[in-house]
Amino acid sequence: EITYGDWSSDVCSSDLQLEIAVSAYRELIAKWPRSPYFPAAQVGLAESLVQSGKYSEAIASLNEIIAANRNANYVLRAHLLKGDIYLKLLDQPQQALDVFMAVYKNFKKPEARKQAALSLGDVYFRLGDTGKAKEWYLNSYRLLGAKEVAFRNEIHFKLAELAFCQQEFTAAIAELEKIEQIQNSRTLQDDLFNDALDFIFLIEQNLADSSTALALYATAACIQKGKKLAAAADSLEALIEKFPQSLLAPKALLDLGAVYGQLALPERKIAAYQKIADDYSTSIYADEGTFLLARAFEDHGHIDEALSTYEKILQDFPMSIYLEQTRKRLRALRDGSAMQ
């Protein structure tokens, strides 16, 4: 997930750190090929290249790890990372399918097979084959040990998303209610538990408000999962036009803004978030929509509009979870303006 912050300095610092990391890993690989740290350096190089957006170089590095076959654990990591690059970053699900299927068939340890099965579920979900997606998620579930709560939670959430796409709302809630809160955990599992609560609230609230609107929203969500962004935008626009008074309308606008961002249509993204600020100012999504509007203004060089929108958040949403980030962005923009 993207964490909003002082992105201008953070990005520069991150880029420099990645450049240093890539150079260090390359030097270790070149000078000490017999080092016990050599496989770890190869994986570190590939991961750094991924973070730098150099996906082809990362895949080439991972292929070297796989071909050398010096350490089974690192070979597995290389396969899984390669599959993730194809699926999540290059949007090449067929190549990802080949990678994950090879892992499932060729690695015998349950740890490898359960992760491959989970990823195969993701691939088939992306391809729109919900039957096979569910089959592979359940295959992964069967390979779990009794104490693997975090992994089990992840599968329940994916099964809930699958059920939601199929408009099986009761089944989706049932899967979400199985997600356990992990005590003393400050990991992504905390977010997953909270996401499950939010998901349940969205379904239950909108089933009571407008089940037809919820069905349309589920259809749009399923289209988005398949990366058919233009069709997803059309579906969300239709929902908003047909059910402007529904509780889902501002949530659909949030999703629409994100889709237009992915489609590189900044003015439409701004318009979606602006509509939340203008027409749904009392919605539970109002502060988020207004914050994203300010960020969109800022990202596209509309600094005066960004400043006024951030100030609106401070005034209109004094209890918002976006207050700290809003103050940080205001300070950064004002300091930048003073320097110009």
What's the alpha-carbon Rg for the chain, to the nearest Å? 22
Are 277 and 289 within 8 A, CB to CB? yes
Q: What is the pLDDT of residue 158?
A: 97
> Distance between CA 231 and CA 235 in Å, rounded?
6
2 — pLDDT class (breaks 50, 70, 90): very low
Percentage of the chain surpassing pLDDT 90? 74
Give the max Cα distance, the chain.
Answer: 66
SS3 4: coil
The answer on pLDDT for 340 being more than 70 is no
For 93-137, write each residue's pLDDT tens digit: 999 999 999 999 999 999 999 999 999 999 999 999 999 999 999
Q: How confident is the model at residue 3 (pLDDT cuts 50, 70, 90)?
A: very low
What span, in angstroms and rounded, lies between the C-alpha atoms of 100 and 110? 14
- The number of beta carbons lying within 10 Å of the beta carbon of residue 106 is 13
Q: Give the per-residue pLDDT at 335.
A: 83
pLDDT for the residue numbered 156? 97
Entry pTM: 0.84
Helix, coil or strand: residue 210: coil
Q: Go through the chain and tell me how many residues it has.
A: 340
Is the CB of residue 121 less than 8 Å from the CB of residue 140? yes
List the one residue out of 277, 258, 279, 283 whose CA is nearest residue 269: 258
* 305, 270 contact by CB (below 8 A): no
C-alpha dihedral sign at 112, 117, 120, 122: negative
pLDDT at position 331, please? 92
Q: Residue 184's pLDDT band (boundaries 50, 70, 90)?
A: low
The Cα 126–Cα 331 span in angstroms is 41
Using one digit for the tens of pLDDT, what is the confidence trace for 129-166? 999 999 999 999 999 988 899 999 999 999 999 999 99
Mean pLDDT of the chain: 90
